[in-house]
Amino acid sequence: MKVEAVLFDLFDTLLLIKGGDAFYIPSLKRLHGSLVKNGVNVSFEEFKSVYFEVRDSIYAENSKSLEEPHFKVRVWKTLQKLGYNYELSDSIVSEATEAFCEEFAHYITPDRKAIYALEKLHGKYKLGIVSNFALPEFARKMLEKFKLKKYFDTIIISAEINKRKPSLEIFRRALSEINVEPPKAVMVGDTPDMDVVGAKKAGMKAILIERETFAADRPTRPIITVKPDKIIKSMEELPKTIEDC
């Protein structure tokens, strides 16, 4: 069946995160600094320990429902656990989240070969983004910064709809917005258990990008439990690969 739409993962597919998880501790330190400035008297080590406990518990609790609360929720719950009775809507939570984003932004760079692919595909297919990300405002800001937003007919970010890949809901939402049936759509991403599994369950085709930097960023490659339709090593290969799907 002829492909009419191509959906993309965002981070480590179109936008690259330099150094894998190297951004996390510096970004968390910026977040902590913002809290301290606003009166939170807790050491970074204590804050970090509680933060990761809260973050991991949120993902554990939502492992079956595949819900994706906004990043602010983990900041708010961390403060609560540390004995600070702030509301989720309080400015201290928003300012701390923004501080995290400001540092994180230093680690983001566009994949030039992905931009080449988007140029080739734009106008020929309907294009969309389906991203698991708890900071949707930051993701959209990066798309604007690197002038990528213009290529896309739909942008779905998990924390905006409280559903994450591989849930069927997030894929169905994207396909509904561009009015394309699943068999006529392809998902392109770097994570087998999110991008490939989710897309195939939704009735779509799936292309997995295996990056050369994978081993440096993550200790082991994930096991591919559901076979993608195609595997590429570079986004430069994508336009021709889609033609062969």
Note if the pTM is more than 0.75.
yes
Q: Quote the tokens at residue 18.
A: 């330099």
| Helix, strand, coil percentages in the chain from 3-state DSSP, rounded to 5 | 50, 15, 35
Contacts 24+ apart (CB under 8 A), 89-95: 92/34, 92/35, 92/38, 92/39, 92/40, 95/34, 95/38
Question: What CATH class is the domain 5-17+109-243?
Answer: alpha beta
DSSP 3-state of 215 = helix
DSSP 3-state of 178 = helix
pLDDT tens column, 80-94: 999 999 999 999 999
pLDDT less than 50: residues of the chain: 214-220
The whole-number pLDDT of residue 226 equals: 83
**Dihedral sign of CA atoms 219, 162, 230, 109 in order:** negative
The whole-number pLDDT of residue 217 equals: 38
Q: Map out the domains of the chain as residue ranges.
A: 5-17+109-243, 24-105
DSSP structure class, residue 90: S
The whole-angstrom separation of Cα 19 and Cα 107 is: 8
- DSSP-H helix ranges across 62-180: 71-81, 91-104, 112-121, 136-145, 158-161, 168-178
